[in-house]
Structure 1
Amino acid sequence: MIVRTLAALVLGTFLMVPHAAIAQAGKPAASEKAGDIEPQVRTRTMTGTFGGQRVSYRATMTETVLESDDGKPEAVIVTTSYVKDPRDASRPVFFLFNGGPGSGSVWLQMGAFGPKRVAIPSDARDDGAPPYPLLDNPDSLLDVADLVFIDPPGTGFSYLTRDTNPKKYYGLEQDAEAVAKVIRLWLNDNGRWNSPKYLGGESYGTTRTAMVARELEGGTYNDVGLNGLILISTILDFAGREPTPGNEMAYVVTLPNMAAAAYYHGKVQAPSVEAIVEEARQFAIGPFASALLKGQDLPDAERAAVRAELARLTGLSERYLDQADLRVTSQRFYKELLRDRGLTIGRLDARYTGRDFDNAGETPDNDPSFYGIDAGYTAAINSWARDTLGFETTREYQSIGREPGRNWEWSTGQGRGAYLNVAPYIGQAMRQNSQLRVFNAQGYYDFATPFFGAEYSLKRMGIPQDRVEFQYYDAGHMMYIRDEDRAKLSRDIRAFIRAR
């Protein structure tokens, strides 16, 4: 066995020491003891054409062991790196992860930016049954940056050891601390401390991006300067997703999504999705927000006018809107918009439709935009990691792991009763780093992380607007599923990285 040991960093409550070695096989967490873990490194040299350039690269899957301060292994983190060969330290490095919390990096890796992608329908149809072809991905960013996909604890093939307390890793701050340490140690191991660095994620991965940026840029020692944050399907201010009684912002930020979905399914008329979305933005932040905030003091005439415009923008009947007191939750909207056709629409991507057991309920049985794609992605990552890269394990790949979410600590110590908003951490990092820029990508048909909510979060005080870029796509949460938008996303991020 060949062992390569990196510098140990004492950071906070535990010590992380990565070990790199060739192991014969992984073992399930239930059987692992402190002395049994033999971390794997699997490397293949490959070539591909990305962004029109032929690139030779090394694909490497690595297990990094996180240890407690008494030397006990607590977690094993898997990273998948794609690095140009020969190594060029002047090239940017882009660290990526997905969301959840509990989601593996399969979505961004096999759907958007990895050198291979899974072929599933681009037009919001179900992915059907296997086989799911693995195709060369010319939209990978390997022509402009080396890529490092990180699976935090409890996601992908990464795991906690048998006796590890989940509270040490499953939480906003705990997770960010672990991911930041993995990044620091990857920079050590690969000699990339002075390379341009980009950090980004999708969905909760954007929340993680804000938290990890705080860890990397906010330290008093061993600070890691960043060139850019790349946010895909952003969720930073969680008030916008919780329609609890009295929280009117949840209805305000989702209204433009409803207008976009209604337009896509032919329930409202407009010159374009951009046009109907802009109308909905202006109405949502103006007359609609004002009406909701007036509560029971809302005059009848104003209520009638707001109800009529709301019906025009959403395709819902005034009678239904009146019964809902002008406040239609996203779950109800998925069911109601196409009830006359016996269809529901997707949460992650409202272009998708499904059929429920019956048509009488208030909410859908399931999300057709998730069950329409999940099998293809799961098959792709297992085939790529096990069969092509040679990663050996009896563990199941956790594309959406349950354990992190069940144990997640959502507090950031912002104060008693404070709702979660991590956008200020991005503002702080930008104010302390005059060259840090932010790229934000949003799909018009994404109800999981509404685009208007991202705009609301990133346009508030403390965030320098001259360094924030917004781009929009004619698809949903994973906009890269649509072929045209995967190409556009790749072009947009490629231009963002080159603009440094």
Structure 2
Amino acid sequence: MRALLPTILLLLLLSGPAGAAADEAPRQFTAKREGTFGGQKLRYQVISGDTILADDKGQPRAAIFSFAYIKDAPKTEQTTRPVLFVYNGGPGSASLWLHLGTFGPRRVKMADPVHPPTTPPFALEDNPFSILDAADIVLIDPVGTGFSRILSAGKPEQFYGTEQDAKATVEFIESWTRANNRWNAPKYLVGESYGTVRSAVVAKMLMGGPMSGNARLGAITLNGIVLLGQALTLGSDGEATYATNLASMAATAWYHNKIDRKGRSADEVASEAARFAGDAYLKALFAGDRLDAAERARVADTMAALIGIPAAEILNRNLRIEMGEFRSLLLKTESQEIGAYDSRYVYKGKPAGAADAVADDPAMGQYTPSFIAGINQYLRDELGININASYETIAFGAVNEKWAYTTPTSGRVQIATPVQSLAAAMRRNEKLRLFVGTGLYDLVTTVGKADYMIAHAGLPLDRVTAKTYPSGHMAYLGDDSAAKLASDLRSFINESK
């Protein structure tokens, strides 16, 4: 019995406040590497670890785990070297997609990105398209994702909402900037999908003010914001939604050879569809039941030639094809369904029972296994991160389902939508530039939606750059897309730093 007493006492201590404090101690891992990026050979450090967010009494509320890729450089150079703060979306997603897809020095190996490996063994390879030569890169896993977690003084409702998440991100950026003395470094936000909403709100909140959400004067300004697969305008825009979907449908029909290409590229077909959508198609939709039969037939015939759906099907649906219907109808004769997140991907047949919007998606269902295996292999085997916990890739139940999309700040009124926040940030900072990148085959955040957002958000258009890529929601899948995106981002950084 005496021999057991020390062990029992140790367990009691570890389960008490001291043990909790030990469990909440910041974790940090450092690795030194070298590689070639943009034709430049360089050495860099990978600093992976926690940034603790404390309450006003200094008690730990949460730990945000991040991965900082920092070029070895003289202090004078490093002080003014650009920094990218990068995150994915969800809400509830970790940064693995951008980490192993385009920004990190290693990436998931895919001989054919449209037919990725779906069973082990999976592999990683050097990423020739990382832009570490142009900027230091900090990949952020929001609270509840990756290795980031809520600590003893925190509660889920303090982080799982549009405004709450933005506050935590601002706190992280301020803390990281202070710890690394990068006040004078050009700064950029890079968000994908819901991460674009985060960027819009964070951009305004970083500058601060009594109505900013965190009600303080931060005065951190940005040089640029990168929106990949923008989700600022995902809600219904009424009849305009059908019009903004048309270009991506046309590109998809071109890809699957369901229309007469007539020597046109996918981009050219998409542009033709966008012109038709903004003119004759939108007029027909607005005419409603007043549209005469002859014009209705002409519109249906034009749509059929553009999107590969028979005119009879289009007429039966009153000229309005929902995106889900399009995905099922385009390859119906082949008994195939196309992906929402990337319409180049297909699955045979239909899922048994109720379909899972993510797991049963032909794109997400196929490329997810290699990314999840890849991030776990990379973090543990290559970066030496020996954390005995699951790396939460997407926390649907714990984070996404609990998300508060509109939460007014106590004592103040939330006066801005994400789009308005972005416009306000660009008005206040006349040097701030915006980059919007969209995959041509993305049926979730379409090229039409991106164009519509840019045209209606009240943005200074002379400071907005919009690009499309021959890929899907992850606009960097495929070497052609990855190379073009890397080149475009290097130019964007060089023009705005």
TM-score when normalising by structure 1: 0.87
Which residue matches 1:89?
79
Which residue matches 1:475?
471
Which residue matches 1:54?
41
Q: Is contact 1:239-1:419 (8 Å) kept?
A: no
1:320, CA displacement in angstroms? 1.3
Indicate whether 1:404 and 2:399 are aligned. Answer: yes
Which residue matches 1:392?
386
Q: Is contact 1:423-1:458 (8 Å) kept?
A: no
1:413, CA displacement in angstroms? 5.2
1:32, CA displacement in angstroms? 8.2
After superposition, the Cα gap between the structure-2 partners of 1:358 and 1:63, relative to the gap in structure 1 and judged at 3 Å, is closer
After superposition, the Cα gap between the structure-2 partners of 1:264 and 1:360, relative to the gap in structure 1 and judged at 3 Å, is farther
CA distance in 2, matches of 1:420, 1:119: 42
- C-alpha distance after superposition, 1:156-183 (max 9, x if no partner): 1112236743221111111011011100
Match of 1:101 among 71, 88, 91: 91
1:217, CA displacement in angstroms? 2.4
1:263, CA displacement in angstroms? 0.7
Which residue matches 2:165?
175
Which residue matches 2:432?
436
Q: Is contact 1:39-1:65 (8 Å) kept?
A: yes
Q: Is contact 1:172-1:410 (8 Å) kept?
A: yes
Q: Is contact 1:34-1:72 (8 Å) kept?
A: no
SS state at 1:239 partner: coil
Deviation larger for 71-80 or 138-147: 71-80
Unaligned runs of 5+ in 1: 1-26
Deviation larger for 251-260 or 31-40: 31-40
Q: Could you list the structure 1 runs, at least 4 aligned residues long, displaced by more than 4 angstroms after superposition.
A: 357-365, 418-421
After superposition, the Cα gap between the structure-2 partners of 1:123 and 1:138, relative to the gap in structure 1 and judged at 3 Å, is closer
- C-alpha distance after superposition, 1:438-457 (max 9, x if no partner): 11111110011111101111
Indicate whether 1:292 and 2:285 are aligned. Answer: yes
CA distance in 1, matches of 2:494, 2:317: 48
| Paired residues for 1:31-430 under 5 Å | 33=20, 36-86=23-73, 87=75, 88-161=78-151, 164-219=154-209, 221-240=217-236, 247-270=238-261, 271-357=264-350, 366-402=360-396, 403-411=398-406, 421-430=417-426
Q: What amino acid is the match of 1:409?
A: A
CA distance in 1, matches of 2:365, 2:197: 24
After superposition, the Cα gap between the structure-2 partners of 1:308 and 1:281, relative to the gap in structure 1 and judged at 3 Å, is same
1:121, CA displacement in angstroms? 3.7
Q: Is contact 1:201-1:231 (8 Å) kept?
A: yes
After superposition, the Cα gap between the structure-2 partners of 1:359 and 1:129, relative to the gap in structure 1 and judged at 3 Å, is closer
Which residue matches 2:5?
none
CA distance in 2, matches of 1:58, 1:257: 40
SS state at 2:192 partner: strand
Cα RMSD for the two superposed structures = 2.6
After superposition, the Cα gap between the structure-2 partners of 1:126 and 1:84, relative to the gap in structure 1 and judged at 3 Å, is closer
Q: Is contact 1:234-1:451 (8 Å) kept?
A: no
Report % sequence identity: 38
Deviation larger for 32-41 or 167-176: 32-41
SS state at 2:145 partner: coil
After superposition, the Cα gap between the structure-2 partners of 1:352 and 1:319, relative to the gap in structure 1 and judged at 3 Å, is same
1:184, CA displacement in angstroms? 0.5
Q: Is contact 1:332-1:363 (8 Å) kept?
A: no
SS state at 1:479 partner: coil
1:346, CA displacement in angstroms? 0.7
The structure whose Rg is larger is: 2
Q: Is contact 2:439-2:447 (8 Å) kept?
A: yes
1:51, CA displacement in angstroms? 0.4
Q: What amino acid is the match of 1:42?
A: F
Q: What amino acid is the match of 2:247?
A: P
- C-alpha distance after superposition, 1:31-50 (max 9, x if no partner): 98456311111011111100
CA distance in 2, matches of 1:422, 1:373: 30
- Corresponding pairs, count: 464
After superposition, the Cα gap between the structure-2 partners of 1:420 and 1:292, relative to the gap in structure 1 and judged at 3 Å, is farther
1:419, CA displacement in angstroms? 13
After superposition, the Cα gap between the structure-2 partners of 1:447 and 1:255, relative to the gap in structure 1 and judged at 3 Å, is same
Q: What amino acid is the match of 1:394?
A: N
After superposition, the Cα gap between the structure-2 partners of 1:283 and 1:154, relative to the gap in structure 1 and judged at 3 Å, is same
CA distance in 2, matches of 1:147, 1:250: 35
1:421, CA displacement in angstroms? 5.0
Q: Is contact 1:218-1:429 (8 Å) kept?
A: no
- C-alpha distance after superposition, 1:259-291 (max 9, x if no partner): 110011011123111111111111112222222
Unaligned runs of 5+ in 2: 1-13, 210-215
